[in-house]
Amino acid sequence: MMIWLAFFLLLVGITFARMGPSFSRNKFAVPIIMAGISLLAFNNFPVENPEEELLGYLRGFAPWFFVCSIGCFLVLRGSPIYWKSHPPQLIIGWSIILISFYLNLEYYELPDNFILMAIFSALGGIISLLFFILLVRFVENRIPLEDPAPDLTEEEIIFVKKIISANIGVDEK
């Protein structure tokens, strides 16, 4: 039961984290997520199958996933934004990602039917992606086109010119 409580807390915490600024629940997200992670990591209660097997997979998965997440975060923070990159963050991030791949290969035991699992996993991913593309296309084709926006009035044109002039620091003529 503790395993499923931990998953429930993780789900609630992630849901709270996704709430916008108009809600004040998002400040509770991190403590709830940390409670769920601590229940998974520091579980001292006896666990029976199938939860025991699940917990074993999670404990094998967590170290390299955590390291990879830190690396991905650094790579995303260091990636070019408006043509300005941060090479130290990129180098450290990619190094950490490579270390996580090493941890994965070193400590993960491949199952006997790995090739069969990889084929079906890839097939499932491709089918899911195709269904997603078809669903997006179906929804976009069902939405009626909107009428074009009317032209700006003379007052609106003057107002927009004032705003743009003020923002770029040019005196209006």
Count of other CB atoms within 10 angstroms of residue 16: 19
- Among 15-29, 30-44, 148-162, the range scoring the smallest mean pLDDT is 15-29
The pLDDT of residue 81 is 77
The pLDDT of residue 123 is 92
> Mean pLDDT in the chain?
81
The domain locations on the chain are 1-45, 62-109
Give the integer Cα–Cα distance in Å for 66 and 58. Answer: 11
Q: Which two tokens stand for residue 10?
A: 């993780």
The pLDDT of residue 22 is 58
Q: For 80-93, write each residue's pLDDT tens digit.
A: 777 777 888 889 98
Classify burial at 74, counting beta carbons within 10 Å of its beta carbon; exposed 0-12, middle 13-18, buried 19 or more: buried
The pLDDT of residue 24 is 64
SS3 track for 107-138: HCCCCCCHHHHHHHHHHHHHHHHHHHHHHHHH
**Under 8 Å between Cβ of 93 and 125:** no
Q: For 98-127, write each residue's pLDDT tens digit.
A: 888 887 777 766 667 778 878 888 898 899
Confidence of residue 130 (pLDDT cuts 50, 70, 90): very high
